[in-house]
Amino acid sequence: MQIVYHPSRVEWEQVIRRPLADADTLQAKIRGVLDDVKTKGDSAVREYTERFDGANISRLRLTPEEIEAGAATVPQALKDAIDRARANIEAFHSIQREEPQVVETMPGVKCWRKSVGIEKVGLYIPGGTAPLFSTLLMLGIPARLAGCKEVVLCTPPDHHGNLHPAILYAAKAVGLTSIFRIGGVQAIAAMAYGTESVPRVYKIFGPGNQYVTGAKQMVQQEGLAIDMPAGPSEVCVLADATAHPAFVASDLLSQAEHGPDSQVLMVTTDETLAGKVMTEVQRQLQELPRKDVAERALAHSRIVVVTSMQEAMELVNEYAAEHLIIACANPGLLAEGVVNAGSVFLGAYSPESAGDYASGTNHTLPTNGYARAYSGVSLDSFVRKITYQELSPDGLRRLGPTVVDMAEAEGLRAHARAVQIRLNTLS
C-alpha cells in the first residue's frame, strides 16, 4: 500500500484511479458467454458452470427439499444473526413505502403517483470464495416488500454443485424459492434472456466482479434494466489525528479482503497517523485467512496525506466512494459536506462492516465513482412509479385552453383537437 504525500490537484486523477481490466478483452469474453447462453440455453449454462466453477450440474434449480435440507445445517448462532439482520433491514426498508398522495393542481384536475412492484426481478448473489448471504438479505427483503411477483435468485455453486447453507437459510428467511446454482456471466445471461429452466426477468440486481458488472451493463444496452454499475467493493476512510490507527486499518482490510480487484483509500491530514495505519495494516494482514487476496487489493490502494480538512473533503468527494468512513473529531459536521458517496459511516464506532451486514441500510451500492450519479439499492429500486391524472368536465374547461394553445404553438394539431373536441361538446 502506497503513501502519497500532498499530491497536487493535477495528480488527483492518478491518485484516485481505480484498477481496471483490459476493457476490450473483457467485453469480448463476456459477449461470447452471453451469446452462447442466448442461443443454447441450459446446455451453455451447464457448460460454463463446469468450466468456471468446476461443477457438473444436471439440474440447475434447487428443489424445496434441497433448500430445506441445506438451511437446516446452519448453526443456531448464525441463524439468530441472520434473523437479527433481517429484522433491522426490514425495519429500515419498510419506512420507504409511499402511499399515493392526490394533488389537485387546479380545480377539477387531480394528479397522483402509485408505486407498483416490478413483476419479475433477478437477484445475483456472489459466491465463490466468499458466499455473500448478506447480499441476499439486502436484495430479497426490499423485493418482497415491494410486492415483486417473481423473484429469481442465481448464485454460483461449489465444486460439488452445492450452495452455501447460509445462502439457503437467508433465502428461506425472506421467502425466496426460485433458486438456481448459476454464477458469473452465465447467470446474468440466463436471467436476461431466459432459458429452459431460468425465467426471463425485467430487472437484474446484485454486485459482482468486473465480468458480472460488464455483463449487466451489456444486457442493459439490449433493453434490460439493472440496479446500477456495482462492481468490486471499495472504501474510503477520512481520518484526522483523533482516529484510532487499529480501527482505520481494520476498516481498510475489511474491504481489501473482498477481492483482488477491490480498492481501499485513506485520506488524512496527519502524516503521523498515515505511518501508524500503514504499520497496523501490515500487522493485522498477517492474521487474515484471506491474506493473499487482501495483499493483491492493497497493491493498488493508497493512503493520501493532504494539507487541510477542506482539501481532504474535496478529494473524498472527487473519489465518490462506495463506502465512506469519517473517522474524525466532528464526523456529523463533516458529513454535511459529503455530496458523493454510496453510504457514510460516522465516527469511531460505526465500522463499515455494520452496514455490510446488519445495521439496516442497504449494502448494494454504486462503485467506481458512480456514486456521483447513482444511489444505493432501496425499496424504490424494486418499484415503478406510475403517474395518474383525472380531469372533471370543469377541470377540462379550466385547463383545456392552455393545452390547446401550447399544442398549436408546437404544430401538433391532433393534440389540440383531442382537447378542443371535448370542449366543444361541453359547451
Per DSSP, helices labelled H in 209-263 are 210-220, 245-256
CA distance 392 to 107: 9
Interstrand relation of 234-239 and 263-268 (parallel, antiparallel or unpaired): parallel
Binding annotation for Zn(2+): 255, 258, 356, 415
Which residues are CB-neighbours of 298 under 8 A, at least 6 positions away? 1, 252, 256, 264, 281, 285
Q: Which residue in 189, 248, 210 sits closest to 37, CA to CA?
A: 189
Q: Find where cell 459529503 sits.
A: 338
Binding annotation for substrate: 233, 255, 258, 323, 356, 410, 415
Binding annotation: 124, 186, 209, 233, 255, 258, 323, 356, 410, 415
322 is catalytic: yes
Which residues are CB-neighbours of 97 under 8 A, at least 6 positions away? 115, 145, 379
| C-alpha cell read off for 25 | 478483452
DSSP state of 41: T
CB of 173 within 8 A of CB of 193?
A: no
Binding annotation for NAD(+): 124, 186, 209
Calculate the alpha carbon distances from 95 to 89, 92, 157, 246, 360 in Å. 11, 6, 35, 36, 11
CA distance 51 to 393: 66
In sequence order, the β-bridge partners of residue 250 are none
DSSP state of 150: E
**In what helix (H) or strand (E) does residue 152 lie, and over which residues does it extend?**
strand 150-155
- The catalytic residue among 323, 336, 390, 408 is 323
- The catalytic residue among 280, 322, 352, 363 is 322
Q: Which residues are catalytic?
A: 322-323
